[in-house]
Structure 1
Amino acid sequence: MRDAHVLRGKLDMLVAADVILDCENLTLAGQRLGLSQPAVSRTLGRLRAAFDDPLLVRVGGRMRPTPRAEALRAPLAAMLRAAEDLYAPAGFDPARARRAFRAVIPDVVAAVILPELLARLAKAAPACRLELLPWRPQAEQPRDLDLVITTEIDAFPDFRMKPLYQDDDILAFAGEAPSGDPLALEHVAVIAAGASRDPVDRWLAEQGRSRRIVAVVPHYLLALQLVARGGHVAVLPSRMVAALGAPLGVRGLELSVPQDPDQQWLMHPPQLEADAGNAWLREQVEAVAR
């Protein structure tokens, strides 16, 4: 493995060579390099030894480059430009980028943000695509995962996170608005994989109440479809019902019982904190989630 200090020393010498050959004057070169004239003279001496050439010779009252020095100008400039590119932060041009972003987004959130998010990607980043992955905890996700949207922050303990949006639950129904005690209606509960109960039943139990459950499904979208067929109700996130309910004839009523709002979090791996492409994607998600 190359020694980093040796490489850095050689790079400094090449920078000095570029400046000295550009100025053709040791005093001016010293001003640009932040070195005294004696220090620049010593540097020129090392460069002459390294290239086995005088590089600059005094002609009359001025220093003139040798043919070898003239031949070095272009490759020196190209090499230093390449070095600057290595140290410069990687940018992201969505119009030219070709990248597959991989994300975990639950159906309840995808229903709200995905149509506009895909439209934004198609317009601003036409060669990029979004791949949605199934829900799994952090340890079981691929290493190239870009972001996660979830309420389950404990499942991704190492990820950076910020609040995305809050949503209240409503009573979703089709047809005429139900009357009487809403908890006595035939409810479709949603219990996601790995969960033991619907969050609705947790905060109802905290108030000493319960509801009549006639079916349990693993996804909010399936619950919405069952409600649309009539005869059942479900407690669903209001933004999902607003986004998808109208074509299905599903509306919502505010719940008459206190509830905990659903807090969705936008999360990403810490190693992608400074990644320009990942930051751009997070900005797009935040914009469509407002």
Structure 2
Amino acid sequence: MQKVDQDGTGQRPLPRNLDVTLLELFDCIGRTRNLSAAGAQLGMSQPAVSRALGRLRTMYGDQLFIRQPRGVAPTPLAESLAAPMAAALEALRATFRRPGFDPTHEDRVFRVAMSDVGERLFLPHLMKHLAREAPRVSIDAITSQVQLQDGLGSGHIDLAVGFFGPLSKQLHQRRLFRERFVYVARSNHPSLGGRLPREQLRDIGHVVGGPEGMEHAAAVQKVLAGPRVRARVALRVHSFLCIAPVVAATDLIGVIPSNLATVVAGHIPLQVLDPPVQFPGFDITMTWHQRHHGDAASIWLRNTFLELFKSGVNVRD
């Protein structure tokens, strides 16, 4: 019957006074066959080498290295320990080497949380870039309405990109760009000719939108409902994406984020107008969890978003 040691595993426990320096010394003496040379390589004095070798001999119950006219010679036990000792040291050293990430050759699926507007803004440019620079990388876009804290913490979400309110201290954030709101109207609107006077805001019907509960959408609607504007709201929609097609087909006007306006105006006959009232701006940020802060793949993904979108969305890319 196999003897069960105190740790209950059936394996002999490691000595409590084990020092990695002792293992390095054993390996170095075995390679140099010289105590002085081994000490010099490890930055140890001759007395320190002698004391450490004494501890090794006690732990293994063997002389390990026998003095010769020139250097030392390993005992049979030391010879048998040389290969596993070198492998153990290499395995230990490997734990201190941070794994890298090579986007040109590695397969990886990144789960990125973003809104429907984020998908429209970021994904065309991101996928074009990945096809060229990281052809084996895939993106799984996840709605940003999920529980970000839990998703980022569990690893179900690698990165969240968009506008987010206050979050946990375990989450890191970095701003990509500052966003603002603009008006959009059809290009041949009968009452507008490239500018929008504030007094017309009460006369022209508005389309307002944005996800329910989102602070930036609520801020816009608060301004429009305020005493200085009192805009007439003809249509409320859930998504900013709906506004441009509606105003392109009607005489209504709408307020949407400026980057979205730039993108859709390239495909729909719209005019983009500076608002005659002040809407609060907001930051578009990247958010990730502390546990992935130093991960090479996560760092590469964040740097990719920063490279592509640090100044907003360039429709010419």
* AA of the residue aligned to 1:85: A
Which of 43, 48, 52 is 2:52 aligned to? Answer: 43
* AA of the residue aligned to 2:118: V
Separation in structure 2 between the aligned mates of residue 100 and residue 8 of structure 1, nearest angstrom:
44
SS at match of 2:107: coil
2:42 corresponds to which residue? 33
2:314 corresponds to which residue? none
Separation in structure 2 between the aligned mates of residue 285 and residue 170 of structure 1, nearest angstrom:
24
Which of 185, 196, 205 is 1:173 aligned to? Answer: 185
1:194 corresponds to which residue? 213
Q: Name the Cα RMSD after superposition.
A: 2.9
Is residue 152 from structure 1 mapped to residue 164 from structure 2 by the alignment?
yes
Tell me by how many angstroms 1:72 deviates: 3.8
Tell me by how many angstroms 1:76 deviates: 2.7
Is residue 214 from structure 1 mapped to residue 223 from structure 2 by the alignment?
no
Which of 87, 104, 115 is 2:113 aligned to? Answer: 104
SS at match of 2:251: coil
1:136 corresponds to which residue? 146
SS at match of 2:95: helix
* AA of the residue aligned to 1:190: G
Task: Name structure 1 gaps, 5 residues minimum.
Answer: none
Per-residue deviation, residues 10-31 of structure 1 (Å, max 9, x unmatched): 5332212111212222122222
Q: Percent identity?
A: 26
* AA of the residue aligned to 1:92: F
Tell me by how many angstroms 1:158 deviates: 4.1
Cα gap change, 1:58 to 1:281, in 2 (>3 Å) = same
SS at match of 1:12: helix
Which of 244, 249, 260 is 2:280 aligned to? Answer: 260
- 5 Å-filtered alignment, 1:15-94, equals 15-51=24-60, 53-66=62-75, 68-94=77-103
2:245 corresponds to which residue? 225
The number of residue pairs the alignment matches comes to 289
Structure 1 contact 203–260 (Cα < 8 Å) conserved: no
Structure 2 contact 209–238 (Cα < 8 Å) conserved: yes
Per-residue deviation, residues 138-187 of structure 1 (Å, max 9, x unmatched): 35536212222232322556421122111222111223144261442221
Quick check: which one's helix share is greater? 1
Task: Name structure 2 gaps, 5 residues minimum.
Answer: 1-6, 312-317
* AA of the residue aligned to 1:173: A
Cα gap change, 1:288 to 1:42, in 2 (>3 Å) = same
Output the TM-score relative to the length of structure 2.
Answer: 0.79
Structure 1 contact 165–265 (Cα < 8 Å) conserved: yes
1:242 corresponds to which residue? 262
